[in-house]
Structure 1
């Protein structure tokens, strides 16, 4: 809809500049077209850069955590580079064949060793429009439910250990 306002403001500005005679009416219509055009461009820029009209919504889900290796109390991880960036491999069901993994580029991972229960808490943050008017105005620009981050919080019982995954040769 903001693109429609931009188009209307540009056409109004151009038509009033070209086809109207000098006078106060021409000045008013040029000013109205200019305000609509510039205002639309400013609102579009604010929407793309600062997510104008959007708010961040967090959804938290908690899953029971089972061992990554059957028969042991282990949480597997793979080191990335030299920093504290790691990929953690976890299972939320003992019958799960393929392990789920964290993504260090999209969020943070927190480990809490002295918990009362093994669980993983996943917090997913998305941006949504504040109301239907903002979605109608900017719906063609930034998508609704835009992904921001996904944070993981592992709660481990005291007997659990972290174990590094053996590097595979390629």
Structure 2
């Protein structure tokens, strides 16, 4: 919708500059077209850079954490690069064959070793439009329900080990 306002403002500005005779009406229509065009460009830029009209929404899920290796209490990770960038391999069901893994580029990870039960808490953050008017106005720029980041919190009972993995497991 904001693009339609931009197009209408540019068309109004151009047509009033070219086709109208000199006078007060011409100045008023040129000003309206210019304000509409510049205002639309400013709103598009603000929406693109600062997510104008959007709010962040978080959704948290908690899962029981089971060992990555059967018969042991182990959480596996694979070192990526030289810093704290790691891929963690985890399971939430003891019967599952496939291990899930974290993404070091978008996920934030926290390990806690003193917990009563072993569990995994996943918090996903999204950007959504504040209301239907904002969605209607800016729907061509930034999509609704846009993923921002994901936060993993591994709560491990005493006795669990965090072990480095040399080769890639089944995932």
Normalised by the length of structure 1, the TM-score is: 0.97
Q: In 1, Cα distance between the equivalents of 2:109 and 2:119? A: 13
Q: In 2, Cα distance between the equivalents of 1:139 and 1:167? A: 44
Provide runs of 4+ in structure 1 moved above 2 Å. none
Unaligned runs of 5+ in 1: none
1:167 Cα deviation (Å)? 3.4
Corresponding residue number in structure 1 for 2:132: 132
Q: In 2, Cα distance between the equivalents of 1:160 and 1:167? A: 21
Aligned ranges 1:42-81 → 2 under 5 Å = 42-81=42-81
1:28 Cα deviation (Å)? 0.4
1:28-52: CA deviation from partner (whole Å, max 9, x where unpaired): 0000000000000000011111111
The count of residues paired between Structure 1 and Structure 2 equals 168
Unaligned runs of 5+ in 2: none
1:140 Cα deviation (Å)? 1.0
Matching of residue 97 in structure 1 with residue 77 in structure 2: no
Matching of residue 23 in structure 1 with residue 49 in structure 2: no
Matching of residue 143 in structure 1 with residue 143 in structure 2: yes
Q: In 1, Cα distance between the equivalents of 2:49 and 2:5? A: 19
Structure 1 vs Structure 2 CA RMSD: 0.7
1:166 Cα deviation (Å)? 1.6
What SS does structure 1 have at the residue aligned with 2:137?
helix
1:61-113: CA deviation from partner (whole Å, max 9, x where unpaired): 00000000000000000001110111000000001110000111002100000
Matching of residue 111 in structure 1 with residue 95 in structure 2: no
Q: In 2, Cα distance between the equivalents of 1:120 and 1:114? A: 13
